[in-house]
């Protein structure tokens, strides 16, 4: 049976992603310009000791003409972690760039994420294979996975499998944790003098893998446009029915970049930014009181409706809850085997007996369902799975309780009816926006140029993203430059530092300047669906966050 594709997918297959000018002129066989030596973002002495072969590398830009014809390369690529729109275009850009280096170059796709490297499960790409996935969403070209590559026996399997296939370069497409593992792998392969290069590509729709050289991670643009369309639809419904408060939890475990971008796009009644909660040391009671005041203010104007945006990771930013979660993470890591044998009631009793008095008090006031969610299995990094904690429902319950208390005192006369939503998976596999299609293709192409230049331990970088694509600047940033030490599974481990929302920068300050007006007025914006065809000002614009940052 012939595979059926939609008219949109057929049209998108014909889209030609735009590239930085240096690649349009010279292909991927370009000469790198080296900057000054670098150092890690923090814990320089410790990171240097852990990564002696990859620490201090210079930043690279590709701004010059073509070098000599490239040597024959066999490369491998993996998709690691959660899906993000544009991953297929990273692979397409990498494939095309490798073929530009040398038409005989080959690209192997390891299936199912990092485990594909250790299990030697792969496909060999050809033109027909790649063409089927150009400009499409998802990671289904080879699949993804969350296996962590961090142990020497895993690295040795990677070496053996690559040697057997003749592979001399690996590209890891992933987020901060995946690229932390890529950094560890690059260090080990250099230490063992294997001749195998490792290059990373910055993927995470959460937007928390960013810095001066990585202006955004891919997928963030598309995902926030998808979420903003849905938020706009809900706001239109709220403004039509005029009887519900909609609490919308948004993806973003460790940072509120998605929440902030969606707020700037849609202008909701109320939005929480987790980093502000942490900075102001706001208690759960204070957050609830602020939301309840917004509900009360609108009720007094005859408006018993509104939209509240809630970051997925909010609960970890509330100081007393963060301290509680940190204690729980360490406690469960140290007592995992014993804890698994206990009943639900015994688990609660065990935890209460081990927590400090401050954390025990915070734990005791939480609803039973939230307590259970806090004690669920940890993720592969030893952290609580905040996406499974129904923070939006917790806030609805607590706001409702406070409003009932005010009503009993005659301080509130409105009606609080609500709906809850969680926007997560809806955005992870969307067809990439023109921006992400171009950016991802450029990231993959840049990775091929880094391979051609013989580099290892670098993250593909494409900058100046508010300019037209032909003015983007491609290069590479050392993975060790973004590292610091963090507490994982009760131990200090080297990881790429997550980028949080900066409260002194223009995106957040723009939000602050407008939020009181959004509470009082119905300032809702309705962005509508992603536009793939049409004028540049409609179809090719990057996020509001990037535009304000520049």
> If we measure between CA atoms, which residue out of 138, 140, 132, 137 comes closest to residue 111?
140
Instruction: Pick the catalytic residue from 176, 177, 206, 436.
Output: 206
What torsion, rounded to 10 degrees, do the Cα atoms 207, 212, 215, 216 define? -20
CA distances from 495 to 11, 83, 184, 206, 344 (A): 41, 21, 10, 17, 33
Q: pLDDT value at position 1?
A: 47
Q: Are strands 169-174 and 306-311 parallel, antiparallel or unpaired?
A: unpaired
d(CA 308, CA 7): 36
d(CA 390, CA 386): 8
Q: Which fold has domain 16-219+432-496?
A: Rossmann fold (3.40.50)
CA distances from 183 to 100, 155, 379, 484, 493 (A): 26, 12, 21, 12, 13
pLDDT tens for the 550 residues of the chain, in order: 456 788 988 999 999 999 999 999 999 999 999 999 999 999 999 999 999 999 999 999 998 877 666 779 999 999 999 999 999 999 999 999 999 999 999 999 999 999 999 999 999 999 999 999 999 999 999 999 999 999 999 999 999 999 999 999 999 999 999 999 999 999 999 999 999 999 999 999 999 999 999 999 999 999 999 999 999 999 999 999 999 999 999 998 889 999 999 999 999 999 999 999 999 999 999 999 999 999 999 999 999 999 999 999 898 899 888 888 888 888 888 888 888 898 888 888 898 899 998 898 888 878 788 888 888 877 666 667 766 788 999 999 999 999 999 999 999 999 999 999 999 999 999 999 999 999 999 999 999 999 999 999 999 999 999 999 999 999 999 999 999 999 776 788 999 999 999 999 999 999 999 999 999 999 999 999 999 999 999 999 999 999 999 8
d(CA 152, CA 191): 12
Q: pLDDT value at position 321?
A: 87
Domain 221-312+390-428+504-549, classified CATH 3.40.50.460, yes or no: yes
**Domain boundary assignment for the chain:** 16-219+432-496, 221-312+390-428+504-549, 318-386
pLDDT tens digit sequence for 195-242: 999 999 999 999 999 999 999 999 999 999 999 999 999 999 999 999
Decide whether 16-219+432-496 matches 318-386 in CATH topology.
Answer: no
> If we measure between CA atoms, which residue out of 141, 139, 116, 138 comes closest to residue 128?
141
Helix 176-191, helix 152-165: angle, nearest 10: 70
Listing DSSP states for 280-343 in one string gives TT--HHHHHHHHHHHHHHHHHTT---EEEEEETTGGGTSHHHHHHHHHHHHHHHHTHHHHHTS-
Instruction: Tell me if residue 206 is catalytic.
Output: yes
**Residue range 318-386, CATH number:** 1.10.10.480
Q: Are strands 169-174 and 74-80 parallel, antiparallel or unpaired?
A: parallel
pTM of the complete model: 0.93
Q: CB-based contacts of 473: which residues, under 8 Å, 6+ apart?
A: 20, 61, 62, 63, 462, 463, 464
Q: Tokens representing 515?
A: 């939020």
pLDDT tens digit sequence for 412-450: 999 999 999 999 999 999 999 999 999 999 999 999 999
Please tell me the number of Cα atoms within 13 Å of 539 on its side-chain side: 10
d(CA 458, CA 32): 13
């Amino acid at each position: 049976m012939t595979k059926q594709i939609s008219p949109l997918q057929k049209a998108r297959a014909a889209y030609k992603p735009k590239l930085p000018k240096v690649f349009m002129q010279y292909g991927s066989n370009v000469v790198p310009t080296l900057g000054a030596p670098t150092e890690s973002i923090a814990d320089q002495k410790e990171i240097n000791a852990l990564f002696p072969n990859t620490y201090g590398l210079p930043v690279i830009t590709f701004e010059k003409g073509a070098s000599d014809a490239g040597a024959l390369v066999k490369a491998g690529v993996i998709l690691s972690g959660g899906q993000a729109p544009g991953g297929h275009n990273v692979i397409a850009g990498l494939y095309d760039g490798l073929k530009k280096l040398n038409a005989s170059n080959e690209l192997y796709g390891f299936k199912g994420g990092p485990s594909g490297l250790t299990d030697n499960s792969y496909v060999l790409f050809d033109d027909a294979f790649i063409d089927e996935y150009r400009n499409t969403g998802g990671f289904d070209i080879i699949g993804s996975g969350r296996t962590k590559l961090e142990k020497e026996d895993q690295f040795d399997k990677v070496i053996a499998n690559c040697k057997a296939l003749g592979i001399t370069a690996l590209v890891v497409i992933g987020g901060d944790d995946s690229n932390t593992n890529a950094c560890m792998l690059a260090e080990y392969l250099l230490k063992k003098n294997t001749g195998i290069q490792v290059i990373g590509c910055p993927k995470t729709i959460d937007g928390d893998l960013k810095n001066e050289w990585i202006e955004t991670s891919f997928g963030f643009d598309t995902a926030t446009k998808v979420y903003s369309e849905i938020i706009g639809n809900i706001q239109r419904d709220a403004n039509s029915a005029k009887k519900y408060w909609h609490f919308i939890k948004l993806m973003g475990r460790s940072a509120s970049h998605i929440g902030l971008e969606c707020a700037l796009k849609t202008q909701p009644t109320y939005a929480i930014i987790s980093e502000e909660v942490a900075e102001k040391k706001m208690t759960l009671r204070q957050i609830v009181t602020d939301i309840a005041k917004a509900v009360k203010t609108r009720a007094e104007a005859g408006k018993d409706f509104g939209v509240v945006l809630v970051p997925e990771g909010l609960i970890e930013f509330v100081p007393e809850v963060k301290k509680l979660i940190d204690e729980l993470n360490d406690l469960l890591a140290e007592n995992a085997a014993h804890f698994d044998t206990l009943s639900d009631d015994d688990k609660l009793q065990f935890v209460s007996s081990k927590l400090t008095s401050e954390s025990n008090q915070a734990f005791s006031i939480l609803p039973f369902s939230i307590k259970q969610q806090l004690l669920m299995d940890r993720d592969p990094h030893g952290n609580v799975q905040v996406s499974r904690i129904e923070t939006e429902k917790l806030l609805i319950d607590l706001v409702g309780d406070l409003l009932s208390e005010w009503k009993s005192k005659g301080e509130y006369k409105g009606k609080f009816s609500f709906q809850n939503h969680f926007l997560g998976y809806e955005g992870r596999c969307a067809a990439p926006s023109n921006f992400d299609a171009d950016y991802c293709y450029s990231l993959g192409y840049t990775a091929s140029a880094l391979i051609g230049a013989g580099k290892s331990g670098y993250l593909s970088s494409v900058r100046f993203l508010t300019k037209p694509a032909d003015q983007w600047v491609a290069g590479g940033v050392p993975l060790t430059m973004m590292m610091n030490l963090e507490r994982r599974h009760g131990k200090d481990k080297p990881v790429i530092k997550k980028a949080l929302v900066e409260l002194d920068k223009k995106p957040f300050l723009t939000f602050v300047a407008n939020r009181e007006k959004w509470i009082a007025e119905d300032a809702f914006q309705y962005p509508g669906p992603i536009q793939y065809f049409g004028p540049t000002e409609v179809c090719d614009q990057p996020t509001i966050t990037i535009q304000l940052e520049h």
